[in-house]
Amino acid sequence: MKHISGHTKISGVIGENISYTKSPLIHNYWYSQHQIDGAYLCFNTSSERFKETVYGLFYAGIIGLNVTVPFKELAFDFAHIRSDAAEQAQSVNCLTFKDNQIYGHNTDGIGFYNALKYLDPKIDLNNKEILIIGAGGAASAIIAYLSQFNVKIYILNRTLSKAEDLVNKFSSQVVIQAVTSPLSVDLIVQTTNLKTIETGSIIDIPDDIMQKSYYIIDINYGDGAGEFLKRASKLGIKNCDGSEMLLQQAVPAFEFFNNQPVEITDNLRNLLKNS
């Protein structure tokens, strides 16, 4: 049992109905590995209570908060000072507090990119074509990050108008197009929360198209990503699920909260996989 003292630094994640979250496992692993007297907890609240809960936690001395569904946009509006990464993503997943000011930051984009680098340390996104499946908040944050590269992005979504909304949002920054059927690209990013990609549905990706891509990322983890990535592995395509992104976005978040550099060890990857 972890020793909690009057000096224990508290950090955590705030969201709605997020008791499933694996973030405490990751951050508490680092606290223990680096022998820091700290604890990372999970806080559930509602949209109506978000602001007062965040202020309450900060006034009680919490050192930092990760923000997850569905509050990342609310946190963006609410932060007094936002980092460039937060501005780029138009969303905030990390909050800190100093001199009555709320600081908002975002580590999702770099987490996504470092997950790609985990798949291939030599990856070069320039001149690559990328198919994004889905057009929700996660797709938007990933496209925002990808916009700094010389890439061509296609968005395939059940509701075409939502894909077109993202095209309008990003077309001044990156070459981007909405599509109504899958096409061959270098990288496929699956951002919907579908458990399986249904055969015959708009977002079903036939094997011959999948086979042409070098990498596939499904941002779901656990069972959610299972079937799609099993097919990718069978076809010999480098792939990873959202647990790698979860780990990679947690590294800069932990550093942001604790001023302590950390690493993702194989032991931590295995702990997460078996949890």
Pull the structure tokens for residue 150. Answer: 């010389």
Footprint (CB under 6 A) of ligand ATR, residues 115-134: 134
- Residue 192 in the binding site for ligand ATR (CB under 6 A): yes
* Half-sphere exposure in the Cβ direction for 74 (13 Å, CA): 19
Nearer to ligand ATR, 186 or 204 (CB): 204
CA 132 to chain CA mean position, Å: 14
| In the complex, minimum distance from the CB of residue 59 to ligand ATR, in angstroms, rounded to a whole number | 29
> Residue 130 in contact with residue 139, Cβ under 8 Å?
no
Query: Cα separation of 23 and 232, whole Å?
Result: 26
Residue 203 within binding range of ligand ATR, rule CB under 6 A: yes
- Least distance to ligand ATR from the beta carbon of 163, Å? 8
Query: In whole angstroms, how large is the CA radius of gyration of the chain?
Result: 19
Q: Does 47 bind ligand ATR (CB under 6 A)?
A: no
Q: Is 138 in the site for ligand ATR (CB under 6 A)?
A: yes
Q: Does 135 bind ligand ATR (CB under 6 A)?
A: yes
Q: How far are the Cα atoms of 3, 39, 47, 70, 176 from residue 44, in angstroms, in the given order?
A: 24, 17, 10, 11, 36
Question: How far apart are the C-alpha atoms of 141 and 131, rounded to whole Å?
Answer: 14
Task: Give the Cα separation of 110 and 248 in Å (integer).
Answer: 8
| Sign of the C-alpha dihedral computed for residues 68, 269, 220 and 223 taken in this order | negative
Stretch that binds ligand ATR, among 106-114, 191-199, 221-229, 233-241 (CB under 6 A): 191-199
Report, in Å, the least distance between residue 136 CB and ligand ATR.
2
Q: Which of residues 19-38 bind ligand ATR (CB under 6 A)?
A: none
Question: Minimal distance in Å, beta carbon 108 to ligand ATR?
Answer: 11
Residues sharing a CB contact under 8 Å with residue 20, sequence separation 6 or more, in sequence order: none
Which residue, 21 or 157, is less far from ligand ATR as judged by CB?
157
Q: Work out the angle at residue 121's Cα, subtended by the Cα atoms of residues 120 and 122, and round it to the nearest 5 degrees.
A: 90
Give the nearer residue to ligand ATR in terms of CB position, either 45 or 157.
157
- Region from 21-29, 49-57, 173-181, 189-197 binding ligand ATR, contact rule CB under 6 A: 189-197
Distance CA 169, CA 44 (A): 31
Catalytic residue among 72, 169, 212, 273: 72
- Closest separation in Å from C-beta 176 to ligand ATR: 15
191 scored as a contact of ligand ATR (CB under 6 A):
yes
**72 given a catalytic annotation:** yes
Pair of tokens at residue 57: 């936690």
Does 226 sit near ligand ATR (CB under 6 A)?
A: no
Enumerate binding residues for ligand ATR (CB under 6 A): 134-139, 157-159, 162, 191-194, 203
Active-site annotation, residues? 72
